[in-house]
Amino acid sequence: MQTTLIAPPALEPVTLAEARAWLRVDVNDEDAAIASLIVAGRTLVEAATRRALVTQTWRVTLDAWPASGADGGWSLLATRPAALPLEVAVPLAPVQSLAAIRVYDAAWQPQTLPSSSWRLLGAPERARIMFAPAPPQPGVRVGGVEIDVVAGYGEPTDTPAPLRHAILALVSFWFDNRGDVATADADNLPPRVAALVGPYRRRRLA
């Protein structure tokens, strides 16, 4: 299974003006640097929480539909011990909608599944796809299934305030520590940022 970003967010959760005000920067000499820090901050918050913030589209690619388990159910990154029959969990959140589900035949031609053959359940947090009847298996061995997922809270201002605050805190952290050995990653966040994103972390799916 592979997830690929195919349509990034059109806007960031934090504006350049908001970041400049937060940093108390009155001139525009640093605008390019601050803008890049906003993008980096949003990306890191998304990685730490395993959430999409502003609306974006991802493609989930599978070689084939998961084999059925002993109970006859499908399992793919299930969010509970046993997925329901003919059900596939979506490894993204918050999910807004599914743009398309495609299965490639032996000639590498995509066949789009009709929306009447599946339902999106449990969105936005525990989104899963239920099929009726079971979807056809692809005719190719690699990358035979594509699911295009629209995810995110919506507009920039729809992003929860603590996560927007976490981005500003990261921008400030990096801005103030330029040239120093001051790193941050999804598993090693500054304490203030870790406290802000903590309630929004999604557990790793398995």
Q: Whole-angstrom Cα distance, residue 85 to residue 70?
A: 11
Q: For residue 54, what are the β-bridge partners?
A: 154
pLDDT band at 179 (very low <50, low <70, confident <90, very high): low
pLDDT at 45 over 70: yes
Q: Is CATH 1.10.3470 the classification given to domain 2-53+155-200?
A: no
Structure-block tokens of residue 86: 């003919």
Report the pLDDT value the prediction gives residue 1, as an integer from 0 to 100: 84
Binning the chain into helix, strand and coil, the percentages to the nearest 5 are 30, 25, 45
pTM for this prediction: 0.84
CA atoms within 13 A on the CB side of 73: 17
Top mean-pLDDT range of 59-68, 181-190, 194-203: 194-203
Residue 149 has pLDDT above 80, yes or no: yes
pLDDT at 78 over 60: no
With cut-offs at 50, 70 and 90, classify the pLDDT of residue 69: very low
* Residue 204 confidence (pLDDT): 61
CA distance 103 to 77: 19
| 6 touches 58 (CB < 8 A) | yes
Summarize pLDDT for 92-109 with one digit per residue, the tens. Answer: 999 999 999 999 999 999
pLDDT recorded at residue 180:
63
Residue the block writes with tokens 């921008």: 171
Nearest to 111 by CA among 101, 122, 119, 98: 101
- Other CB atoms within a 10 A radius of the CB of residue 108 amount to 11
Residues contacting residue 195 through CB under 8 Å, at least 6 positions apart: none
Query: Which has the closest alpha carbon to 144: 78, 201, 198, 64?
Result: 64
Rounded Cα distance between 95 and 122, Å, is 9
Distance from the first to the final alpha carbon of the chain:
12
On average, the pLDDT of the chain sits at 88
The pLDDT of 27-35, averaged and rounded, is 94
pLDDT over threshold 90, residue 36: yes
User: Domains of the chain: which residue ranges?
Assistant: 2-53+155-200, 57-151
Q: From 88, 81, 92, 82, select the one nearest 66 (Cα to Cα).
A: 88
Query: What are the two backbone dihedrals, phi and then psi, of residue 168, each rounded to the nearest 5 degrees?
Result: -60, -40
